[in-house]
Each structure stands twice: as structure tokens, then as C-alpha cells.
Amino acid sequence: MRRPLIAGNWKMNGTKADAEELIRSIIAGVFEMRKVDVAVCPPFPYLFIAEQMLAGTAIGWGSQDVSREEGGAFTGQVSAAMLKDFGCRYAIVGHSERRQFNGETDAIIGRKYAQAMASGVVPILCVGETLEEREQGKTEEVVASHIDGVLNLAGVEAYGHGVVAYEPVWAIGTGVTATPDQAQEVHAFLRERIANKNKEIAEGLRILYGGSMKPGNAAELIGQPDIDGGLIGGASLKAADFVAICQAGEDNA
Ligand code: 13P
């Protein structure tokens, strides 16, 4: 049985005071949950707040990106080893906003995944199609290429050390959620693609759903056989909503 994971991707939002307040409320809200893994991914400058407030709790923290390089003269970048130093358990890699606005390719993202893994940080690889790609019937082709970026670089064993998040681009921040059936179909396809290389690794891999997940739809999504939790954007900035989604994970465990 895979343990559900609910992770909040705060994106580029909030202030230091907001981060403290949000983390304080989340700690109080998920305190008694035992069966779900919970994590927050604040912007880089606020990771130290997460480290200070969350150390000693069961809540993990992670980054929203990581450098593909190990270290050295790469102005503005943050290495996986630095994240590890800050106690990060997770690093999101390949988010569609980074693919879209920062020109990240599957090859670049594969290297980021490998860097995180090498430092003992769990990469959360985001995959997902645009609306246009879905309408052209290319969903499977697109998500397969996102999955294969890591397979080609690091082999199927890499999926024994990471998490995948299916985030249809058309559902991110739009209020339009994939239906549980639509999401389950893609999740099953992703798991099958990895199972073709290694069944055991595929069975153990957590595949999260992301894209307008809210308290009102979380339980039904997480209730699907191949949906193992959520990567939450907008709703992760509201403590009550995020805690309610964590509760859906707890109840489905
Ligand atoms: P929303 O939950 O705001 O749609 O964002 C999802 C997301 O991009 C999480 O990484």
C-alpha cells in the first residue's frame, strides 16, 4: 500500500510573515494525522522558516526547483546539496511553469532529478499535457516523453527514489479539475509505462495529482486506485483548505 503524500507548492507567493502564519496553522491542523505524509514547498528564501518551524514535526519541506549542476559558478542557482543542508526532503522538478517560462526540456529536468536523488532529496517530477495537446489526442505521448526523460538518463531505478505528479496544464490555476476518471486513466498509463521496465518499482511509486485540487474534489481524486495524493497550488496557501485536503489523504490511506 502506498502512503499518500499531500504537498503544497506555494509558487512565488506570500511574505515571510505569511509563511510563518501558514506553517503555524498547518502544524496545528495536521497534528493528529498519522497515515498521510504532508509537505510544504515554499519559495527559496523561506526554506529557513520551514526548517526552523518544522524540524521535529512529521511535516516535510521541499524546494520548487533545483539546479541541474552540482555546484560552482552558476549565478542564481541552488544546488541539491544546499537543499539537503537545509533539511529539504523534496524538490519539485519539471513543473510546467518552469517548462513554459524557463525553457526547461526533458533532458534538463532529468539532470535536476538526478542531482536531487544523488543528494538524498526526493525529486517530485511534474508531467502533464496542455489543453491543445489533449485536444489533439497527444496526452499519452506527451506524458510518456516527460517520464522517459528520467528513464533515459537515470534508468528505472530512479523511480524508486522519487515521486511523480500528474499535472494537466489546463487544470493548473484554472479552477478546472481533471475528472477522477480522466486523472486515473493517465495515472494508470504512467504506472504501466514504468511497470514495463520494473513492476515492483512501479507498484511502489507515488503518483500525485495536481491541478485545481480543493477540499471539495480531493477525496474523490485520491480515492482512485492510482492516485496517491496531491500537489496543491492555490489551495495550499489557505491553511484550512490545505489541511482539509491532507485530511482527505488521511481518510483514504
Ligand atoms: P493549482 O492547485 O493552483 O491549480 O496549482 C497546481 C500546481 O501547479 C501545483 O504544482
Percent of the chain with pLDDT over 70: 100
pLDDT above 80: residue 179: yes
Whole-structure pTM over 0.95, yes or no? Answer: yes
Longest dimension (CA), the chain: 48
CA-closest residue to ligand 1 atom 5: 233
Q: Tell me if 120 CB under 6 Å of ligand 1.
A: no
Q: Which is more confident, 175 or 64?
A: 64
- How many whole angstroms separate alpha carbon 114 and alpha carbon 55? 25
- Give 39: exposed, middle or buried? Use CB within 10 Å, 0-12, 13-18, 19+: buried
**What's the average model confidence in pLDDT over 144-171?**
97
pLDDT above 90: residue 157: yes
Q: Tell me if 236 CB under 6 Å of ligand 1.
A: no
pLDDT above 90: residue 1: no
Question: For residue range 19-52, what is the model confidence (pLDDT) as tens digits?
Answer: 999 999 999 999 999 999 999 999 999 999 999 9
Ligand 1 atom closest to 234 (CA)? 3
- How many whole angstroms separate alpha carbon 251 and alpha carbon 224? 13
pLDDT above 80: residue 234: yes
Ligand 1 pocket mutation, candidates 10, 11, 100, criterion most atoms within 8 A of CB? 11
Question: For residue range 64-99, what is the model confidence (pLDDT) as tens digits?
Answer: 999 999 999 999 999 999 999 999 999 999 999 999
192 is catalytic: no
Contact between 143 and 189 under an 8 Å Cβ cutoff? The reply is yes
- pLDDT of amino acid 135: 95
- How many whole angstroms separate alpha carbon 89 and alpha carbon 168? 24
- pLDDT of amino acid 167: 98
- How many whole angstroms separate alpha carbon 208 and alpha carbon 185? 13
Cα-to-centroid distance, 230 and ligand 1 (Å): 9
161 is catalytic: no
- How many whole angstroms separate alpha carbon 120 and alpha carbon 104? 22
Distances (CA, A) of 94 to 125, 188, 232, 246: 6, 20, 15, 23
Ligand 1 atom closest to 92 (CA)? 10
Q: Tell me if 176 CB under 6 Å of ligand 1.
A: no
- pLDDT of amino acid 44: 98
Q: Could you tell me the three cell numbers for 26?
A: 498547518
- How many whole angstroms separate alpha carbon 107 and alpha carbon 152? 9
Contact between 94 and 146 under an 8 Å Cβ cutoff? The reply is yes
pLDDT above 90: residue 118: yes
Domain 5-251 has CATH 3.40.630.30: no
Ligand 1 atom closest to 172 (CA)? 4
Q: Tell me if 96 CB under 6 Å of ligand 1.
A: no
